[in-house]
A and B are shown apart, each in its own frame.
Chain A
Amino acid sequence: MSDKTFVLDGKTIPYAEGQTIMQAAMTAGVYIPHLCYHPEFKPHGSCKLCTVKANGRQAASCTQLAQSGVVVESNTGELNDERRALLQMLFVEGNHFCPSCEQSGKCKLQATAYDLNMMSTHFDHFFPDRPVDASHSDYLLDFNRCILCSLCIRASRDVDGKNVFGLAGRGIKSHLIVNAASGQLADTDFTANDKAAQVCPVGVILKKRKGFAVPIGQRTYDLNPISAMPGVKQD
């Protein structure tokens, strides 16, 4: 066992030099709620769902480096209340109609909301008008469900070397765009083999003509809550 450890919710967590609190926790099999973090990409620290208290100060666990002797709080009533509020805001800012969404049962946003006992959306819905981009022959973009996690942006830029996706606008007007004058995915160099095609934690980037192929009962989060599988990758 590493001699470098910190304490997370009363449990001693070993870490390697340079690891973040999130990385060390995942390695130890301890779940910290998150949406924009993905172990294969550089942390972004934007969704704030992974916020913990390190020695009493709030920090994004996906960007905060682990340090010996630090006492970290994550699964507390106070932090989970704040996480629920963040989730509720994400739900009302977009159009998340789980009953007819093909990612239902496989969606990290939905699974995290279930796991944190989010019983309602609480805030007034924005009901934004976001048309679907179905121009590409193999993939469809349903912007209604975008939570601005930027995983597709990082995957396209850092792995695919393409810069297909980007964020435009500021504040509440931030939105996902694609790198084409027409604004259409078909006019980018996006392909089905891109890493960006596989990282969306919600239901924005969808393989066409394959929806609902997995029966209820066999979907990613049907059998176990997301907190029971901290290292699970989005399929």
Chain B
Amino acid sequence: MNQLETAAHPENLRRVAIDPVSRVEGHGKVTILLDDKNKVHQVRLHIVEFRGFEKFIQGRPYWEVPVMVQRLCGICPVSHNLAASKAMDLIVGAKHLTPTAEKIRRLMHYGQILQSHALHFFHLCSPDLLFGFDSDVAKRNIVGVAAKYPDTARRGVLLRKFGQEVIRHTAGKRIHGTGSVPGGVNKSLKLAERDELLKDIYQMVEWSRDAVQLIKEMHSQNPALYNSFGSFRANLMSIVGNNGELDLYHGRLRGRDANGAIMFDAVDYQNYSQLIEEEVKPWTYMKFPYLKALGMEQGWYRVGPLSRLQNCDSIATPLAEMERREFVAYSEGELMHAPLAYHWARMIEMLFAAEMIKDLLHDEAILGSDLVVSGERAQEGVGVIEAPRGTLIHHYRVDENDLVTMCNLIVSTTHNNQAMNEAVRQVARTYLSGHEINEGLLNHIEVAIRAFDPCLSCATHALGKMPLQVELLDSAGATLSTLTRSAEGVLS
């Protein structure tokens, strides 16, 4: 699996760097080593930023943690807020939340899934998918989509807006709210808030359904590309509900191998550290998690929509379930491994989120007033949630004075580290070898990374204007040429 990770003789190769990778969250770069005949010898996706939340959360009171750690992200802060809250539920002894608290949290979470998936598909990826990976860069952005496909762009914007409104009503703010607290929530929905959301939800379900049709059409128009671009075989992991159903808020860990066979199931995520090990490599700040039982070489896996849709046995909402079945049937009993299938799976999840929001808005429990519970105090807790980008693990220890003494976070994108490296290597093998470097080629590599919707940081949301610098060096290391794309999208 690690072919192309480390070249045998890097000293005689020329280096191409995409630094930073853009339209991903945070700072990352891709480096590629080529020989004089443009054959690829090494490809790496490096994550070059350091956040430090695990360290500076130490010494802070536990009830502050869900609000503080959500600042990790401006796109899906609800995920961190809820994962930390779930861990702190255990610290305060709240083993079972009140129905109102759990449903408000779920509503918040599905609102986030809806807005994050809509943002990723419509704002960030639809330009690549609608216009082509190497189409005119001046039009390959959401503004270009709005000009040529105004209805599609408008729906994307309004779907995201609706998801943000769900978050606002449940968390207090669209971004970085405070609704979820250890043991429950600090607010439920008022009748007027519920009715405001109910007014639009049916339209959102319909538009989500149309989005699934749109990505299906893209697959059917160019199956060779969608089924093979950057494809590689991988294990997968996610949480599933107690009956194997898709559940993005709570469940137990299940993993499958690349053939689809279940490797482990119903694993209590409190014991995640017995299942997962993390490896550190010197050329990146992001760790490489792997399944202990399989070891470093064979134990890496993929998370996120593509894994979840193929890991669960069913979806509780009818429209999404119908789409899931078609998705599974498409690959005729095999697991779908192509990164571009992430988009299809992601849109089915968006439909699931919209349907779940609709159902919850009809549930009187979300108007309740029984918000917080507590019980026997504990000193350690693990909270896991399926964030838009995949399985998110928060693990804390809290001392007898209520201060955090240990924090371990394994975020969704970290699980996908090896998988993203593999995708980039596949694309480099197929599209880079023997070709001259140009903007379209660079975008092919980024298209593969973007399919995972990585949360390295917020550059993902720079709408295609990622600054890039590519340097060509000869065998002796001398610069032959440099290609730079500025933050404004200007090539020089």
Binding site for B on A (CB under 8 A): 99-102, 131-132, 134-135, 140, 206, 208-217
Q: A132 contacts which chain B residues (CB < 8 A)?
A: 59-61, 403
Instruction: Report the separation of the CA atoms of residues A234 and B171 in the bound assembly, to the nearest whole angstrom.
Output: 24
A212 touches B63 (CB 8 A): yes
The 10 tightest CB contacts between A and B, nearest first, are A216-B172, A100-B68, A134-B401, A215-B187, A211-B63, A212-B178, A215-B186, A134-B403, A215-B172, A100-B67
In angstroms, how far is the closest chain A Cβ from the Cβ of B154? 29
Q: A210 contacts which chain B residues (CB < 8 A)?
A: 63
Other-chain contact of A99, B60, B71, B92, B187 (Cβ < 8 Å): B71
Contacts A100-B71, A132-B60, A132-B61 given; indicate if A209 touches B176 (C-beta within 8 A).
no
CB closest chain-A residue, reference B63: A211
| Chain B interface extent, by class | 20 to 34
Q: Which of B303-335 contact A (CB under 8 A)?
A: none
Which one of A135, A212, A214 has the greatest number of beta carbons of chain B within 10 Å?
A212
B403 touches A102 (CB 8 A): no
Instruction: Report the separation of the CA atoms of residues A102 and B402 in the bound assembly, to the nearest whole angstrom.
Output: 15
Instruction: Report the separation of the CA atoms of residues A206 and B171 in the bound assembly, to the nearest whole angstrom.
Output: 22
Q: Judge whether B95 is part of the interface by a CB distance below 8 angstroms.
A: no
Q: B177 contacts which chain A residues (CB < 8 A)?
A: 216
Other-chain contact of B402, A101, A209, A214, A215 (Cβ < 8 Å): A209
Where chain A touches its partner, the secondary structure class is loop
Q: A208 contacts which chain B residues (CB < 8 A)?
A: 61, 402
Q: B182 contacts which chain A residues (CB < 8 A)?
A: 209
B59 touches A212 (CB 8 A): no
Q: Judge whether B148 is part of the interface by a CB distance below 8 angstroms.
A: no
CB closest chain-B residue, reference A100: B68
B186 touches A213 (CB 8 A): yes
A216 touches B63 (CB 8 A): no
Q: List 12 A-B contacts (CB under 8 A).
A: A100-B67, A102-B64, A132-B59, A132-B60, A208-B61, A211-B61, A211-B63, A211-B67, A211-B181, A212-B63, A215-B186, A216-B177
Q: A212 contacts which chain B residues (CB < 8 A)?
A: 63-64, 67, 178, 181, 186
Q: B71 contacts which chain A residues (CB < 8 A)?
A: 99-100
Q: Judge whether B362 is part of the interface by a CB distance below 8 angstroms.
A: no
Q: A131 contacts which chain B residues (CB < 8 A)?
A: 59
Instruction: Report the separation of the CA atoms of residues A212 and B92 in the bound assembly, to the nearest whole angstrom.
Output: 15
Q: Judge whether B156 is part of the interface by a CB distance below 8 angstroms.
A: no
Where chain B touches its partner, the secondary structure class is loop
Which one of A101, A209, A217 has the greatest number of beta carbons of chain B within 10 Å?
A209
In angstroms, how far is the closest chain B Cβ from the Cβ of A27? 35
CB closest chain-B residue, reference A101: B64
Q: A140 contacts which chain B residues (CB < 8 A)?
A: 61, 402
CB closest chain-B residue, reference A136: B401
- Knowing that A134-B401, A211-B64, A211-B67 touch, tell me 18 more A-B residue pairs with CB under 8 angstroms: A100-B64, A100-B67, A101-B64, A102-B63, A102-B64, A132-B59, A132-B60, A132-B61, A134-B402, A140-B402, A206-B61, A208-B402, A210-B63, A211-B181, A212-B64, A212-B178, A215-B187, A216-B178
B178 touches A215 (CB 8 A): yes
Q: A102 contacts which chain B residues (CB < 8 A)?
A: 63-64, 67
Q: Which of B176-221 contact A (CB under 8 A)?
A: 176-179, 181-182, 186-187
Chain B 350-371: CB-based contact to A (< 8 A → 1; otherwise 0): 0000000000000000000000
Q: B186 contacts which chain A residues (CB < 8 A)?
A: 212-215
Q: B60 contacts which chain A residues (CB < 8 A)?
A: 132
Other-chain contact of B179, A100, A134, A215 (Cβ < 8 Å): A215
Contacts A135-B401, A140-B402, A216-B178 given; indicate if A209 touches B173 (C-beta within 8 A).
no
Chain B 402-434: CB-based contact to A (< 8 A → 1; otherwise 0): 110000000000000000000000000000000
In angstroms, how far is the closest chain B Cβ from the Cβ of A100? 4
Instruction: Report the separation of the CA atoms of residues A229 and B474 in the bound assembly, to the nearest whole angstrom.
Output: 71
Instruction: Report the separation of the CA atoms of residues A211 and B177 in the bound assembly, to the nearest whole angstrom.
Output: 13
Q: B181 contacts which chain A residues (CB < 8 A)?
A: 211-213
Instruction: Report the separation of the CA atoms of residues A175 and B171 in the bound assembly, to the nearest whole angstrom.
Output: 36
Instruction: Report the separation of the CA atoms of residues A131 and B60 in the bound assembly, to the nearest whole angstrom.
Output: 9
Which one of A101, A206, A211 has the greatest number of beta carbons of chain B within 10 Å?
A211
Instruction: Report the separation of the CA atoms of residues A213 and B178 in the bound assembly, to the nearest whole angstrom.
Output: 9
In angstroms, how far is the closest chain A Cβ from the Cβ of B152? 33
In angstroms, how far is the closest chain B Cβ from the Cβ of A187? 13
Instruction: Report the separation of the CA atoms of residues A214 and B371 in the bound assembly, to the nearest whole angstrom.
Output: 12
In angstroms, how far is the closest chain A Cβ from the Cβ of B264? 36
Instruction: Report the separation of the CA atoms of residues A135 and B171 in the bound assembly, to the nearest whole angstrom.
Output: 31
CB closest chain-B residue, reference A99: B71
Q: A214 contacts which chain B residues (CB < 8 A)?
A: 186
Q: A216 contacts which chain B residues (CB < 8 A)?
A: 171-173, 177-178
Q: A101 contacts which chain B residues (CB < 8 A)?
A: 64
In angstroms, how far is the closest chain A Cβ from the Cβ of B301? 32
In angstroms, how far is the closest chain B Cβ from the Cβ of A139? 11
